[in-house]
Amino acid sequence: MDNGPEFIAKITQQWSEMHQIKFQYTQPGKPTQNAFIERFNGSYRRGVLDKYIFEDINQVREQTMIWLEDYNNIRPHKSLGNMAPVPYAKFNSFEGTL
């Protein structure tokens, strides 16, 4: 868990403890411990937040849903053999093959 300037990590830690989830902070100066989230956040920032000027939160939500649809279902990801995550998961699923 990143303990950034928002100080929401304390609330998240309390929630985690209530639900018996082990809570761990990312060590300062170790962004690679959070590499997948950092990569996603960068993609989201470039694909939505830096791309548009929003007038209200509903516009942010609408563009986010459009971006997520593309990111998860259409856009190829090199790490997944140039497949989008949802088709990749379906292709590699063992459900229904037994």
Indicate the domain borders of the chain: 52-98
- Residue 1 burial class via C-beta count within 10 angstroms: exposed 0-12, middle 13-18, buried 19 and up: middle
Backbone angles phi, psi at 77, to 5 degrees: -115, 125
Per-residue tens of pLDDT for the chain, all 98 residues: 555 555 666 777 788 889 898 877 777 777 677 787 888 889 999 999 999 999 999 999 999 999 999 999 999 999 899 999 999 999 988 654 55
Q: What are phi and psi of 83, to 5 degrees?
A: -115, 155
Calpha distance 30→59 (Å, rounded)? 34
Q: Which two tokens stand for residue 29?
A: 């100066």
SS3 1: coil
Q: Looking at residue 4, what is its pLDDT?
A: 56
